[in-house]
Amino acid sequence: MALQKFSIEEVKQAIDCVKNSGSAFVPSLPEFLQDLKYGALHFDEAYQRFLDGKPITQVEKHIARKHGYDIRRMTRDKARQEHSRLMKITTDAVREGRLTFNHTVKRLPVHSSRNLNDIAREEAERQGWANPENFPPNSVFSRIASISKRQGVTHENI
C-alpha cells in the first residue's frame, strides 16, 4: 500500500540508492520508504554546498536563508544532522504544497526612505538657493559663483 504512491522510476532510483549504499543487509520496509522518499536528495553534498555558501536548489536556498545562522553555530555533527532534518521537512512541505517559493523581488516604496542629500537638494531648490542670483551678497557662495562666472564654469561643465 505504501509503495503505490511512488512511480516506477522512483522505485528504480531507490533500488540504485540501496545498491550504492554498500550495506551488507537489505533495508527494512521503513528504511526503503525513506530511500524512496528522499533518494534523490544528496544530504552530504547539499550540506557541503551550504557550508560553501553556494546552495543550488530552492530547498537548499530556503534552508540557508531561514536556518543558516542557527546551523552554523552548532557543532559539525549536530549541524549536519540538523541540515538533513530540515531538508527532509522542507522537501515534504514542498511536495505537500504547504511551502511555495516566491521568485518576485519586493522593492521598497518610493516614500519609504529618502537620502538626506536628496532632501537637502530639494529644500535648496525650493528656496532658490541653487540659483546663484539668489545668493546673499558678500557671502562665500556668491563669491564662488562670481569667480566661476568669470572663468566660464557652469554646472553643466562640471
Contacts of 33 by beta carbon, 8 Å cutoff, 6+ apart: 2, 3
Which cell numbers in the block locate residue 6?
511512488
Judge whether residue 50 has pLDDT over 80. Answer: yes
For residues 154 and 89, give the distance between their C-alpha atoms in angstroms, rounded to a whole number.
64
Ordered by start, the domain boundaries in the chain are 8-96, 117-151
65-73 contact pairs (CB < 8 A, 24+): none
| pTM of this prediction exceeds 0.95 | no
Q: Which residue type occupies 105?
A: V
Q: How confident is the model over 65-110, as pLDDT tens digits?
A: 899 999 999 999 999 999 999 998 998 888 788 888 776 666 766 6
